[in-house]
Amino acid sequence: MLTLALLVLAGGAKADTERVNLTFGTDWYCTASWNAETRIFSWGSGGTGNPDWIFINVTNLSGDVSKYTKLYFKLENFTNSADNKLTLYFKENKGNTQSMDYVAKVEITPDANGEFEFDLTTFDWKNNANPSETIDKTKIYDVTLYGGARSGDGDGSVKITEAYVERPKVTWNASKNHMLLATNGEAKSNPWDYQVNYTLPTPLVKDKTYVIEYAINAVNGGETRVVPNGDGAQYLDTKGLWTNEFTRYKVEFTANGNHTKLEIDLGACGGEVYFDNVSLVEKGQTTNLIANGDFETEGTAGWSAVSNTIAQVEKELGEIQEPGILVSVGEAGWRTFRTGSNVQVSDPNVKAYAAKYMAEGNYVQLTPVTEFGAWQSVLIEAPQGNYLLKSPASVTGIDDAINDLKANGPTPLPGDGTLYGLAKINGVVGFYKIASTSEVPAWAIYLQIPAGGREFIGFGDETTGISTVKAVEEDHVVYTLGGQRVVNAKKGIFIVNGKKVIK
């Protein structure tokens, strides 16, 4: 389905059709503005935005627009406009970030009475960037209205007295549960590559505390976060999402600005993502600052999408799970890890360890742990991939006596001969000394041991304390009991492929 707005059976519309009044909004990075009270659209060189981005958003038009039959605008009082026209751009969802490479446009040229009427059923939907192509009108993620050329200095402006599209009349089934569906392309590397945004009817108040909560079902898993913005940006906690199950996102925060919009980031979620029961309340109050947050009233005014499409759909709300903690493990099969939530190692493919430096024997003793507390540092061992771990309300934390892992702060630490970082070199995973010409990055996890230690420190056997080394790629690599690699082993006791061997 398509996102909807206020529906009006207009006097000029046929009995079997209905109008969807267009709603507009703007972004801080644009040199354009929209005044909902006066209905004035202004554009020009003012503001902090890109001077080429002289557009406002049509906030309630996306998804499948094929069912719309007519587009109508009533315009008055063009000011400082060279051609008295606007341009409406329909951008196709290609699974990428915003781009003008897949755009169909309609030039809005009003008649002497200021009216413009366009038959969408005869529109050819040609791609403006490549007229030999047509865009898919069932996958529109963004509709924007651009101002025209200006006749002089200063802003151009026009009053949009009326704007709507018509469609065949839709019957709303009130007996069904409804929610918002965001359709993304493939999962992306940046959280903000896909977004669902909500323009707040009333801005947040700086220094007041709020609680944001919603149920979210990402069919292919991933993670989500909320970013209140409009007065700067405030990044709230990221939550891991269970695959094809409803997960609860709930965060309490104190507003650091008078924010006008909520940005829900979905870049890590490929495919379909469902939302229901979205609420934002001031702490201690009960009034939901999000209109129609349960989507049980027809229409999604205030909601918009970035690089994806949104639609109001019928779907039953399943059991809601608490969010998980997403852990990504690379090719080495090991990593350090620390997060602001409690963690239970609930995936059988994942192992977590505390790490203690043992001066006698000069190795790192690993102690398996099944859970650890917020901001505690651990080592993770798992095959390459992404894993979601449970985050219970309470856990038994790691005793500091068995864990020497430290977490750096915001300033890099220069190598001083005592700092070691986890790495894989020549197929061997362990702790390697940070060179004096290098540093421990900000927020990274490291070991600190007395100066004079060797360049590499291996992991210790969990039961015997014998120093062993994880040779990930190389066979028959030989080490002494102290962890030193040997090329031509003679008589003595050595470690070969993690086992004690007597020669």
- Segment 12-29, tens digit of pLDDT: 445 578 888 888 888 777
Give counts: helices (H), strands (E), the chain. Answer: 0, 47
Residue 450 confidence (pLDDT) above 90: no
The single-letter DSSP state of residue 202 is S
Residue 94: the pLDDT is: 67
Strand partners, 390: 324, 344
Residue 99: the pLDDT is: 58
Categorize the per-residue pLDDT at 464 as very low, low, confident or very high, splitting at 50, 70 and 90: very low
Taking residues 106-118, report their average pLDDT: 95
Closest among 483, 394, 383, 385 to 433, alpha carbons compared = 483
Of 82-96, 176-190, 459-473, give the lowest mean pLDDT range. Answer: 459-473
Taking residues 222-248, report their average pLDDT: 91
- Tens-digit pLDDT profile for residues 62-99: 777 888 999 999 999 999 999 999 999 998 876 544 45
> Which of 205 and 238 is assigned the larger pLDDT?
205
Residue 472 confidence (pLDDT) above 50: no
Closest among 490, 486, 423, 489 to 458, alpha carbons compared = 423
Of 118-132, 219-233, 477-491, give the lowest mean pLDDT range. Answer: 477-491
The single-letter DSSP state of residue 245 is S
Across the chain, what does the average pLDDT equal? 84
Rounded-to-integer distance, Cα 342 and Cα 237, Å: 13
184 near 273, Cβ under 8 Å? yes
Residue 95: the pLDDT is: 54
Name the 3-class secondary structure at 265.
Answer: strand
Taking residues 255-261, report their average pLDDT: 96
Residue 452: the pLDDT is: 61
Categorize the per-residue pLDDT at 298 as very low, low, confident or very high, splitting at 50, 70 and 90: confident
Residue 47: the pLDDT is: 44
Residue 271 confidence (pLDDT) above 90: no
Categorize the per-residue pLDDT at 6 as very low, low, confident or very high, splitting at 50, 70 and 90: very low
Residue 300: the pLDDT is: 86
Residue 51: the pLDDT is: 65
- Tens-digit pLDDT profile for residues 33-64: 999 899 999 998 654 445 678 999 887 777 77
Residue 476 confidence (pLDDT) above 50: no
